[in-house]
Amino acid sequence: MAAIRELCKSLVQPILAVMIGLLTGAIVIAAVGESVIGTYQEMWKGAFGSFYFFTSTLARATPIMLIALGLALAFRAGVFNLGAEGQMVLGAISATLVAIYLPAPGIVKMLAGLMVGIAVGGLWSLLAGFMEARFRIPLLISTLLFNYIAVLFASYLVTEPFQDRTGSAALAQTLMLDKSAWLPKLFSGMSVHAGFFFAIAAALLLFWVIRFTPFGYEVKMLGQNPLFARYGGINQIKVMLTGMFASGGLAGLAGTVEVFGSHYRFVDGALTVPNFAWTGMMATLLANSHPIGIVFTSILLAAFQTGAMGVERNTEVPLELASVIQAVLILFISAKFSYDWWKKRKAKGGESHGAA
- Rounded distance between C-alpha atoms, residue 23 and residue 30, angstroms: 11
pLDDT tens-place string over residues 60-92 = 999 999 999 999 999 988 888 999 999 999 999
Mean pLDDT of 141-147: 96
pLDDT at 145 exceeding the cut of 70: yes
Label residue 137 exposed, middle or buried (CB < 10 Å: 0-12, 13-18, 19+): middle
- Domain containing 75 equals 14-337
Q: Is the pTM of this model over 0.85?
A: yes
Q: Is residue 318, in this structure, part of any structural domain at all?
A: yes
Which pLDDT does position 352 carry in this prediction? 46
Q: Is residue 9, in this structure, part of any structural domain at all?
A: no
- Rounded distance between C-alpha atoms, residue 70 and residue 221, angstroms: 18
- Specify the number of domains making up the chain: 1
pLDDT tens-place string over residues 214-242 = 999 999 888 777 787 877 788 999 999 99
- Rounded distance between C-alpha atoms, residue 356 and residue 354, angstroms: 5
Mean pLDDT of 22-40: 88
Which pLDDT does position 48 carry in this prediction? 94
Q: With pLDDT > 70 as the criterion, what percentage of the chain qualifies?
A: 90
Cβ-based neighbours of 237, under 8 Å, separated by 6 or more: 133
- Rounded distance between C-alpha atoms, residue 22 and residue 250, angstroms: 30
What CATH number should be reported for the domain holding residue 44? 1.10.3470
Long-range contacts of 33-40 (CB under 8 A, 24+ apart): 33/316, 34/315, 34/316, 34/317, 38/315, 39/311, 39/315, 39/317, 39/321
Q: Is residue 4, in this structure, part of any structural domain at all?
A: no
- Rounded distance between C-alpha atoms, residue 180 and residue 103, angstroms: 13
Q: Is residue 7, in this structure, part of any structural domain at all?
A: no
Which pLDDT does position 308 carry in this prediction? 87
Q: Is residue 353, in this structure, part of any structural domain at all?
A: no
Q: Is residue 52, in this structure, part of any structural domain at all?
A: yes
Q: Is residue 237, in this structure, part of any structural domain at all?
A: yes
Q: Is residue 156, in this structure, part of any structural domain at all?
A: yes
Label residue 250 exposed, middle or buried (CB < 10 Å: 0-12, 13-18, 19+): buried
